[in-house]
Amino acid sequence: MTPNFDVPADWYETFFQGPANRFWEAMVPPEATAADAAFIVRHIGAAPRVVIDAPCGAGRHALALARAGYRVIGADISEEAIARANDAASAERLPAAFAVADMRRFASEPADALISMGNSISYFDDAGTRALFGNFARHVKPGGALILDTGCCAESVLPNFKTERVFEFEGGDYRSALFYDPKTSLLKTKATLRLGAERHDLRYAHRLVTTGALVGALDEAGFETADLYADPEDAPFAIGAPRLLLLARRR
């Protein structure tokens, strides 16, 4: 087993810059974004509607929704990602606006729906998760949809747990060692990312929670969970599914 190692509690505040962002974009094909966007559209209702994307990254989901006729508000802690999202929206004259903000504390008008994609709900401890869901609740209209996306549910990770992972892509590779700390429910990752001649060492951590704990935390924040899906084609979530797409409604 990989030995335990330290990861800063606030790792996500500085992680999403050049190398990590470039890796993520290389790993996610356009077809995956299109499938996610189709899932979102199917479950939030037809445009025109206002949708918040938090965190939005460089806007791959938000821009797809804006192209489909939604007005999109994006928030992300990465200045680099927000700059790229705003540039893309401006170049295409899309109805989308992006701002640098912590997703636990961003402020905007209430929206018809809010999406939070890509494992980001797993960055925080219990208090941070409550703050996150509380802020989400303040920004979704009654009856509006919330879609959460994560591959860090305990039901997903633990049945298929591996201490090493390797991803190869055009122009590089990503090799990681993982350690699960049962005392804290933290899944820690120590990775080496190669991008051409560049080599980058990365460390980050996600907190594993059960789907039941997520449903309970959302209930406390004012959401009623409607369905748990395993993929954008609406397959039902089950133990061992690598991904959770959770659909909830604001009470």
The CA distance from 137 to 144, in Å, is: 10
pLDDT at site 215: 98
Helices (H), the chain: 12-15, 18-27, 30-44, 60-67, 79-92, 126-138, 154-157, 211-221
pLDDT at site 24: 87
Which of 16, 104, 97, 3 has its CA nearest to residue 51?
Answer: 97
Terminal CA-CA length for the chain: 44
Could you read off the pLDDT tens digit of each residue along the chain, which spans 251 residues? 689 999 999 999 999 999 999 898 888 999 999 999 999 999 999 999 999 999 999 999 999 999 999 999 999 999 999 999 999 999 999 999 999 999 999 999 999 999 999 999 999 999 999 999 999 999 999 999 999 999 999 999 999 999 999 999 889 999 999 999 999 999 999 999 999 999 999 999 999 999 999 999 999 999 999 999 999 999 999 999 999 999 999 99
Q: Looking at the domain covering 156-206, what would its CATH class be? A: mainly beta
Taken in order 117, 185, 242, 84, the sign of the CA dihedral is: positive
The CA distance from 226 to 63, in Å, is: 26
pLDDT at site 231: 98
Residue range(s) occupied by CATH 2.20.25 in the chain: 156-206
pLDDT at site 2: 86
Residue range(s) occupied by CATH 3.40.50.150 in the chain: 12-153+210-250
Query: What pTM value is reported for the model?
Result: 0.96
What are the structure tokens assigned to 191, written together? 């990775």
pLDDT at site 244: 98
* Fold held by 12-153+210-250: Rossmann fold (3.40.50)
pLDDT at site 189: 97
